[in-house]
Amino acid sequence: MKYWIGLRQCKFKAFQSAETPTKETHGKEFSAAIGPFVTKRAALWAEKYGFNNPHFQTVNDAERLSKN
């Protein structure tokens, strides 16, 4: 299982998925997905602090920033 961030109504929601999210598998729940994240900590950081954050551009940014 890998960690992902889904975009729903201008908010991020962290979730786990064994497969890569597609329109067919996750399209009813999310309009977009970001990931996969290496750690759960980074996915939860992105969910809480990532939306409209100019320092969060890539998954690696979330991994780095969640360590602080």
**Residue pLDDT, tens place only, 36-56:** 999 999 999 999 999 999 999
Residue 36 preceded by cis peptide, ω within 30: yes
For 1-68, list the strands marked E by DSSP.
2-8, 11-17, 32-37
8 Å CB contact between 34 and 46: yes
Mean pLDDT for the stretch of residues 14-19: 97
Q: What is the pTM of this model?
A: 0.92
Q: What does the pLDDT read at residue 68?
A: 80
Q: What are phi and psi of 52, to 5 degrees?
A: 60, 25
